[in-house]
Structure 1
Amino acid sequence: MGVDQHGLRTTAANPAALDHYDRAVDELLHFRAEVVAESDAALAEDPTFPMAVALRGYLGLLTTDFDDAVATRAYLAEYEPGEVLPREQAHLKAVGTLAAGDYHGAGRILADLTIEYPRDALALAVGHQIDFFTGNATSLRDRIGAALTSWHPDDRHYPNVLGMYAFGLEEAGHYDRSEDIGREAVERNHRDVWGIHAVVHTYEMQGRFGEGISYLDARLDDWSTGTFFNVHNWWHYGLYAIEAGDRKRALEIYDTVLHGPFASGVALELLDAAALLWRFELAGDPQPERFTALVDSWQQRAAEPHYAFNDAHAVMAYVGAGRFDLADALIADRVEWLRTDRPGVTNQAMTARVGLPVCQALVAFGRGEYEAVVDLLYPIRGYVNEFGGSHAQRDAVYKTLVEAALRAGRLPLARALVSERLNVRPCSPYNWLKQAELARALGDEAAAVVAGERAAALARAGGSVPVP
């Protein structure tokens, strides 16, 4: 029996096991690869340590990789817990539920656990990631907010909890509060890459890409290396570069980091690579060679139905590479998979409601069937969040709908879609470029010129303020 770094009792067999577990949680909160080694070290000291077992299970399941999930299920099936504390039992139940494919059920167990043990950093971190994978903005905010007053500013991991809260605030639309909390988290701990990420998201959602670039540049050494999250933050930098009209810089980032010589090929990095290239596809700047380089990795990662959000990005890569045969095969496989009901498997509903129509729309877009794209995406636009990701990530879907509406000549719908975007994010050059394209299609050349000039002015200004 022992007490962890946050004052919670555990059934670790010896102090060394608990020490390695505490270090593992610290590494997890900082998104450092060393979490795996520390987790293994804790289990080497005590293979029956319930919290270390749960942590290892979470690590294998949060990759969203099918093979990792299979291996994790096998590992958990062999584990025979002895007498455990109620908190540990809840974690074992949560990780087992997650291993069975029930994201929502696992999230609920961890939420209940957090009510009883608000200082359980592992429950907060894993629950937060589950909320992210299911696109639950309200829970991203409130799961952390419900625990926050139980943490003291002097606590070692208080900044990490603030960073999580900042991201939840951003996804729930509280941008001013998100920026303040995120900046505080980073000021308290400059290596809080999730806090940096939260601030970056806030700038993205407000069209403040110039400030975002400056913020990342000023903290380059804090976020760009040494974690398994640096690739994703570089992806955000690439989005800023695209918004600023600097596509060359975005592709340099792609070739150097997103799918460069040291690319890991894990699903989370492949997502970023495909998502960045898809924005080039939408802009009429196809990247078939770069997309082709992603195909083999995606074939390995998306061979089985496991996470619909991954499927959509695999299809982006297939379509961008001209491999419609692979895209069609993936879609046919998911259609067949949906014929068998799998109670409690969250991905089945994700696939049926969002993943499958998004995949079908991406293929239709690649084939130039823009009416079909609109017919597939417009009805689901209100609940695309259900298949996971952030607002910034899912914007690829909404931009596909905008582009398809314009290309299909569905001008009243395009006008509505562009108007929505402009009024939420008037600082975005992309939104004004679409307004210019729409005005030109409607025969209003003067309005098109004005909108184009506004887009150019915002690109130069970094989107800090809307141009009058």
Structure 2
Amino acid sequence: MTDDQHGLAMSGAGGAAARHYDQAIDELLHFRVEVDAEAAAALSEAPDFPMGQVLTAYLGLLTTEVEDARTARQRFAAWRARAGGPGGLLPRERAHVEAVQALLDGDFLTCGRLLGAITEQYPRDALALAAGHQVDFFTGDARSLRDRIGGALNAWHEDDRHYGHVLGMYAFGLEESGHYDRSEDVGLRAVELNARDVWGIHAVVHTYEMQGRFGDGIRYLDARLGDWSTGTFFNVHTWWHYALYALESGDTGRALAVYDAALAGGHGSMELLDAAALLWRLLLEGSEQHGRWQALADAWPAKIAVPFYAFNDMHAVMSYVGAGRVAEAEKLIASREAYLTEPHPDITNHAMTARVGLPVCRSLVAFGRGDFDAVVDLLYPIRHRINEFGGSHAQRDAVQKTLLEAALRGGRRDLARVLISERINVRPCSPFNWLKQGALAEALGDRAAAATARRRADQLARQT
């Protein structure tokens, strides 16, 4: 019997395997690629080490890559067959096996619930917290993003090696739940404790995004460039946030420079969706970027060949529509329609696709065709439950902006007024929101109001 670095007992691991496992957890919390090598090293030392097998299975699923998930299922099934029944496992290990098996079976919600039960009994289980936090992100559960971590926080102390990382997760949950002042304080403290806590940096960046503090966001990222831009597989996503700040301040050239330097040429689903999300925002503003779209669309087919995660499907459709390859978008949509005819009651993605994924994908195709009434009819009824297919508020804002732009272009002026009013009153310091106010005023023939709104947008952009 061996204890991990947080004082939790593990069976089946000698000292060397336990050390590799502990290091793998550290790499995971830092979002570093070395996590895979350390997890593999732990299993090389002790092939049937239960927590090593559990960790490797989680790693194969949290990438949202179909092939990684398939490999993880095969490896975990082979280990369970070798290990026999769960009788020899410790209670925490049995609970993890049940949780990760639910995830392997596509049941994100059950996995999240089971991980929550582990955290209640073992609040210092860093793997249960990190995996549960990502499951909450993939399912768009803001309250659980906050409370899963908040409920365990009192079991951690400032001298714990990973206390700052727990704070970083908590800061993100606070931000997604709308507690922006508290999120900023907690996130800044997390990064103060560990300058290379990229998830903590990410939480602060999200907070500034939600508050419309785009200049603060750029300055914060510039000041910490060395902490987040190298040595982590999360750097591309952070560059995406940097590009969003540049777009909001009106600096399209800077955003495209970031795209070409950091986002273009990505291979993983997370990188591809960041690239699509940035180009789609440009497309909504009339900047088509045809060449960039073509290269991006070429990268998607292998990633979405089978249904796995509806959030990824949306970004693939964005790429096809942006590249003018609507037939490929329609083919993907048809495949998901066929998927929904099959009974998959316990697969979370099945419900995600039905309730949010397909309507959003259809709306993107309609937008590409200029059928703005169809976009509104598809998106308006689901606009308050877009979170159900995962992502963050910042990521899902691409869908809300699509709805707003369709309302403006389609002459749905009353709806556009409502949507713009909502946005301005939440983020009055957003240049984008005031530009849309100006566009609506222009459409209504009120040139004075349009000029006033555009001046306000320009003033805000200059303040950044």
Under a length normalisation based on structure 2, what TM-score does the superposition of the two structures give?
0.98
Q: For residues 369 and 90 of structure 1, what CA distance do their matches in structure 2 show?
A: 50
CA offset at residue 152 of structure 1? Answer: 0.4
Question: Is contact 1:435–1:451 with CA below 8 Å preserved after alignment?
Answer: yes
Q: For residues 148 and 344 of structure 2, what CA distance do their matches in structure 1 show?
A: 28
Give the match for residue 35 of structure 1. 35
The one-letter code matched in structure 2 to 1:297 is A
The one-letter code matched in structure 1 to 2:153 is L
CA offset at residue 13 of structure 1? Answer: 3.0
- Classify the secondary structure of the residue corresponding to 1:355: helix
CA offset at residue 365 of structure 1? Answer: 0.3
Q: For residues 311 and 450 of structure 2, what CA distance do their matches in structure 1 show?
A: 35
Q: For residues 257 and 368 of structure 1, what CA distance do their matches in structure 2 show?
A: 31
Q: For residues 152 and 428 of structure 1, what CA distance do their matches in structure 2 show?
A: 38
Pick from 234, 242, 252: which aligns with 1:237?
242
The one-letter code matched in structure 2 to 1:317 is S
Give the match for residue 293 of structure 1. 295
Pick from 220, 224, 228: which aligns with 2:229?
224
Q: For residues 399 and 191 of structure 1, what CA distance do their matches in structure 2 show?
A: 33
Give the match for residue 459 of structure 1. 461
- Classify the secondary structure of the residue corresponding to 1:31: coil
Give the match for residue 48 of structure 1. 48
CA offset at residue 395 of structure 1? Answer: 0.1
The one-letter code matched in structure 1 to 2:274 is D
CA offset at residue 443 of structure 1? Answer: 1.0
Give the match for residue 132 of structure 1. 137
Q: For residues 46 and 191 of structure 1, what CA distance do their matches in structure 2 show?
A: 30
- Classify the secondary structure of the residue corresponding to 1:228: coil
Give the match for residue 247 of structure 1. 252
- Classify the secondary structure of the residue corresponding to 1:79: helix
Q: For residues 46 and 239 of structure 1, what CA distance do their matches in structure 2 show?
A: 45
Q: For residues 13 and 277 of structure 2, what CA distance do their matches in structure 1 show?
A: 45
Pick from 423, 429, 432: which aligns with 2:431?
429
The one-letter code matched in structure 1 to 2:71 is A
Q: Give the CA RMSD over aligned residues.
A: 0.7
Q: Structure 1: which 4+ aligned runs deviate by more than 6 Å? A: none
- Classify the secondary structure of the residue corresponding to 1:289: helix
The one-letter code matched in structure 1 to 2:138 is F
**1:84-132 deviation per Cα after TM superposition (whole angstroms, max 9, x unaligned):** 1010111111111000000000000000000000000000000000000
Q: For residues 345 and 47 of structure 2, what CA distance do their matches in structure 1 show?
A: 32
Q: Does 1:346 align with 2:338?
A: no
Q: For residues 77 and 292 of structure 2, what CA distance do their matches in structure 1 show?
A: 40
Give the match for residue 208 of structure 1. 213
Give the match for residue 107 of structure 1. 112
User: Which runs of 5 or more structure 1 residues have no equivalent in the other structure?
Assistant: 463-468
Q: For residues 291 and 115 of structure 1, what CA distance do their matches in structure 2 show?
A: 46
Question: Is contact 1:12–1:18 with CA below 8 Å preserved after alignment?
Answer: no
Q: For residues 343 and 43 of structure 1, what CA distance do their matches in structure 2 show?
A: 34
CA offset at residue 71 of structure 1? Answer: 1.1
Give the match for residue 103 of structure 2. 98
The one-letter code matched in structure 1 to 2:273 is L
Percent identity of equivalent pairs: 66
User: Which runs of 5 or more structure 2 residues have no equivalent in the other structure?
Assistant: none
Give the match for residue 406 of structure 2. 404
Q: For residues 8 and 76 of structure 2, what CA distance do their matches in structure 1 show?
A: 23
Q: For residues 79 and 109 of structure 1, what CA distance do their matches in structure 2 show?
A: 21
Which runs of structure 2 are paired with 1:114-263 in the superposition (5 Å)?
114-260=119-265, 263=266
The one-letter code matched in structure 2 to 1:347 is N
